[in-house]
């Protein structure tokens, strides 16, 4: 599988950043339609090659590794005039260069290959580190979310630096790579900046709950989004606290992690669920669904030594994968070949030795081959309901998925390195634990507080231990036999064919008496199914010159916001592109949007979150455009957008959804004509679309001369039949009538009111008499 994916990238895409597996070509930023923030991972630095380097070593492809390093050293440039995500560039490119340098240096020291290597990858890593440093030039010490590789942040040519917010994970997922770079290069500045960012996040935690929020202002350190969980936006901050202790040996990181972890287990973890709560009021759940990124958390719990909740959450996620192709990504039934579930499966197998987790891994392999494999690689699944693909193979698929799967099925003796000498970054790059500068003493009174958990000591190879825990959650999602509740918590399940794990957290009281009952169902932002309700097609109708209503684009409706079916003439307005295009951050062009209809790219945050921001900016409507290339209303079923699990009564503006192809027509019209007015309304109400008129018409034969004698100007409908046709019709009608009468039963009035069949005589009688002819 790896050979197919990596070989396809090298054959069809290199030196591009990514492979487009359906088009069999490389994705070059600026040459393909803009996908919004997703493209901020692409820096024209052969992303997939660099992200894959240390995977080649783990899979024992040492010749390919040496060849790939030569290519990276010769071809890759890091000074491109392109704006990239600081977070993604750090974990994928800087981490990839450092992990590859560690592997190249190891092979060089062994003396049998890489003898030409002179730390070239480390020099590249140091150059990249210096190009990322300008992002830390803020008053708080939290980094900007984006940086221009050539011009930095505040240079007039940088085209960035206006952002005010960043996610917690974005600021808190730098310490492993930056500290490793400092310790390998001797330049302490990298580690200092990463530590400062971690310190700010720690200081800004909510002291009452010890939780952090999801989005923070990089200038004043104030929280912008106060929802707290372990999924998207926060996930790797917690991961890097734990792993920074393992890598660097600094107790500060472990103490902070343990404080946060206690809060997580108190407020967020409700096995098998992991909730999102308000950081200031953690007893209040702020959303009722789980995103797929938190599938990494059971693996982190294994590192922590907390095996029971890790098994519980992992088992719940596995039950989800058995109903649909994979763990889908938050909001919609999409799967981007994400590796987090495979990562946790690997950790649980290493911790328990339970062959059950080998079977879980086998199911991942089989589903990838069945649903994602295409002739030119592996393609993300655009819609797990239909199996439709997206022209996308992210670099992390090669960096992480194959690494964890290969390690899951391999014995230590089969690997070219001792895997226990390394810690995995969040992108699964390998950094040596020998970088630690301090060795804390073992505290006998608390064996596991300051040491990595020992599989032999903490988790004896006892498969029945994990099985006992799993069995309580085996039928959680409603597949198979009825669920039998645990003694402590009852779980009531319902089967809904949708795609994100949702917990309706209001307690219910039934057979569980006074114990809280948690309903678990699978839901998605695309939650409507054809069997449940009909989607009413809407349209975006271009009404300004030169279109004048002739261009009509099929659109999907929303379950929240203005009910366009109750608006007699729809909603009319000029369209304006939102900035940022995804509307997942503060709106930069609010003045332009006021009183207009906003164009917004789907992705990165919920429909409802985008709508709220744009409503605050003064927009009267929003047209969401699908970011999945090539999607269109002819080939993809329309769906209704739904909210984010919270109340959406505050959202009152008009909302519709266009697939990519229809959206391209609209954006092209805006680029060409600048001022474009549209109508948003149900399809049946579009301008120029007249409903068929139904009417009843009575016919009678007119008497000869009647029409000529009638009132002048009276509306008439005259049907003229030639005499021969009339006679023919009469003959046919008479024959049909006689045939039908012969088949009927005649009712004879008798003393006993019996019904008897007609006799031959009575049949003949039907055709006799003076009125036989009509």
Using DSSP bridges, classify how beta strands 285-287 and 289-290 pair: parallel, antiparallel or unpaired: unpaired
How far from the centroid of its chain's Cα atoms is residue 178's Cα? 29
> For residues 307 and 463, what is the distance between their CA atoms, to the nearest angstrom?
13
> For residues 249 and 242, what is the distance between their CA atoms, to the nearest angstrom?
10
> For residues 381 and 334, what is the distance between their CA atoms, to the nearest angstrom?
6
Q: Are 42 and 394 in contact (CB under 8 A)?
A: no
CA proximity to 149, closest of 29, 319, 301: 29
Q: At what angle do helices 463-471 and 356-367 cross, to 10 degrees?
A: 60
Q: Are 227 and 286 in contact (CB under 8 A)?
A: yes
Longest dimension (CA), the chain: 123
Angstrom CA distances, 87 to 191, 233, 283, 418, stand at: 15, 11, 31, 28
How far from the centroid of its chain's Cα atoms is residue 97's Cα? 28
> For residues 498 and 608, what is the distance between their CA atoms, to the nearest angstrom?
18
Q: At what angle do helices 189-203 and 235-248 cross, to 10 degrees?
A: 130
At 75 the three-state DSSP class reads helix
Residues whose CB is less than 8 angstroms from the CB of residue 340 and which lie 6 or more positions away in sequence, other chains included: 292, 293, 294, 295, 296, 299, 327
Q: Are 627 and 603 in contact (CB under 8 A)?
A: yes
Q: Are 339 and 293 in contact (CB under 8 A)?
A: no
202 preceded by cis ω (within 30°)?
A: no
CA angle 48, 51, 57 (to 5 degrees): 115
Q: Are 615 and 562 in contact (CB under 8 A)?
A: no
| CA-CA-CA-CA dihedral for 630, 401, 103, 98, to nearest 10 | 60
Instruction: Tell me whether residue 449 is exposed, middle or buried, using C-beta atoms within 10 angstroms of its C-beta: 0 to 12, 13 to 18, 19 or more.
Output: middle
Annotated binding-site ranges: 426
> For residues 590 and 594, what is the distance between their CA atoms, to the nearest angstrom?
6
> For residues 697 and 8, what is the distance between their CA atoms, to the nearest angstrom?
68
Annotated binding-site ranges for Ca(2+): 426
Q: What is the DSSP annotation of 624-674? A: EE--STT--TTTS----B---SS--TT--SEEEEE-HHHHHHHHHHHHHHS
| CA-CA-CA-CA dihedral for 423, 429, 434, 435, to nearest 10 | -110
Residues whose CB is less than 8 angstroms from the CB of residue 386 and which lie 6 or more positions away in sequence, other chains included: 636, 637
Q: To which residue do tokens 């909210």 refer?
A: 643
At 456, list the tokens.
């032999």
At 491 the three-state DSSP class reads strand
CA proximity to 83, closest of 26, 20, 165, 162: 162
| Consecutive H or E run containing 736 | helix 723-743
At 366 the three-state DSSP class reads helix
15 preceded by cis ω (within 30°)?
A: yes
> For residues 41 and 86, what is the distance between their CA atoms, to the nearest angstrom?
9
């Amino acid at each position: 599988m790896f050979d197919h994916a990596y070989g396809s990238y090298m054959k069809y895409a290199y030196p591009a950043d990514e492979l487009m597996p359906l088009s069999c070509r490389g994705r070059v930023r600026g040459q393909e339609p803009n996908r919004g923030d997703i493209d901020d991972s692409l820096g024209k630095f052969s992303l997939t090659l660099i992200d894959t380097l240390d995977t080649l070593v783990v899979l024992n492809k040492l010749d390919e590794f040496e060849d790939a390093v030569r290519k990276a050293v010769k071809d890759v440039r890091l000074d491109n005039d392109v704006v990239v995500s600081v977070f993604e560039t750090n974990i994928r490119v800087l981490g990839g260069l450092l992990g590859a340098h560690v592997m190249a240096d190891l092979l060089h020291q062994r003396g049998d290959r890489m003898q030409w290597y002179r730390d070239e990858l480390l020099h590249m890593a140091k150059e990249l580190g210096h190009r990322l440093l300008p992002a830390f030039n803020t008053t708080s010490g939290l980094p900007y979310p984006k940086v221009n590789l050539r011009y930095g942040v505040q240079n007039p040519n940088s085209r960035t630096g206006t952002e005010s917010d960043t996610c917690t994970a974005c600021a808190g997922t730098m310490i492993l790579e930056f500290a490793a770079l400092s310790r390998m290069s001797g330049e302490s500045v990298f580690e200092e900046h990463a530590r400062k960012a971690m310190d700010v996040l720690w200081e800004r935690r909510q002291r009452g709950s010890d939780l952090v929020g999801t989005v923070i202002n990089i200038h004043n350190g104030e929280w912008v989004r106060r929802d707290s969980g372990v999924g998207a936006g926060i996930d790797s901050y917690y991961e890097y606290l734990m792993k920074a202790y393992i890598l660097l040996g600094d107790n500060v990181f472990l103490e902070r992690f343990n404080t946060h972890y206690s809060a997580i287990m108190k407020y967020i973890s409700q096995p098998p669920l992991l909730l999102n709560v308000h950081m200031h009021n953690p007893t209040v759940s702020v959303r009722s669904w789980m995103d797929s990124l938190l599938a990494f958390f059971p693996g982190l719990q294994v590192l922590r030594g907390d095996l029971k909740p890790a098994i519980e959450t992992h088992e719940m996620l596995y039950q989800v994968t058995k109903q649909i192709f994979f763990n889908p990504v938050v909001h919609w039934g999409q799967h981007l070949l994400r590796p987090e579930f495979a990562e946790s499966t690997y950790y649980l197998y290493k911790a328990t030795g339970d062959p059950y987790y080998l079977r879980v891994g086998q199911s991942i392999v089989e589903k990838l081959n069945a649903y994602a494999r295409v002739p030119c690689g592996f393609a993300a699944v655009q819609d797990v309901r239909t199996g439709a693909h997206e022209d996308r193979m992210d670099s992390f698929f090669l960096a992480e998925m194959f690494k964890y799967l290969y390690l899951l099925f391999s014995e230590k003796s089969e690997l070219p390195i001792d895997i226990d000498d390394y810690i995995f970054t969040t992108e699964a790059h390998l950094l040596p634990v020998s970088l630690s500068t301090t060795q804390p003493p073992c505290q006998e009174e608390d064996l596991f507080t300051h040491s990595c958990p020992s599989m032999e000591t903490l988790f004896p190879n006892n498969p029945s231990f994990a099985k006992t825990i799993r069995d309580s959650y085996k039928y959680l999602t409603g597949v198979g036999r009825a669920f039998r509740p645990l003694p402590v918590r009852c779980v009531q399940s319902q089967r809904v064919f949708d795609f994100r794990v949702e917990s309706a957290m209001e307690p219910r009281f039934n057979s569980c008496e006074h114990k809280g009952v948690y309903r678990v169902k699978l839901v998605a932002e695309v939650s409507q199914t054809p069997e449940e309700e009909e989607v009413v097609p809407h349209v975006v109708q271009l009404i300004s010159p030169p279109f004048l209503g002739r261009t009509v684009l099929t659109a999907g409706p929303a379950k929240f916001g203005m009910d366009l079916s109750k608006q007699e003439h729809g909603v009319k307005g000029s369209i304006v592109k939102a900035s940022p295009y995804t509307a997942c951050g503060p709106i930069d062009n609010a003045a332009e949007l006021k009183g207009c209809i906003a164009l917004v790219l789907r992705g990165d945050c919920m429909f409802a979150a985008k709508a709220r921001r744009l409503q605050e900016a003064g927009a009267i409507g929003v047209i969401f455009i699908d970011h999945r290339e090539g999607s269109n209303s002819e080939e993809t079923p329309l769906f209704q957008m739904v909210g984010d699990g919270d109340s959406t009564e505050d959202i009152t503006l008009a909302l519709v959804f266009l697939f990519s192809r229809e959206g391209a027509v609209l954006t092209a019209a805006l680029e060409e004509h600048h001022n474009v007015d549209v109508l948003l309304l149900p399809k049946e109400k579009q301008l120029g679309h007249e409903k068929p008129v139904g009417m009843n018409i009575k016919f009678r034969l007119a008497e000869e001369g009647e029409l000529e004698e009638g009132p002048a100007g009276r509306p008439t409908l005259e049907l003229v039949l030639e005499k021969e046709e009339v006679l023919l019709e009469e003959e046919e009608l008479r024959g049909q009538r006689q045939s039908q009468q012969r088949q009927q039963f005649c009712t004879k009035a008798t003393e006993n009111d019996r019904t008897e069949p007609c006799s031959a005589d009575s049949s003949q009688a039907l055709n006799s008499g003076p009125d036989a002819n009509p």
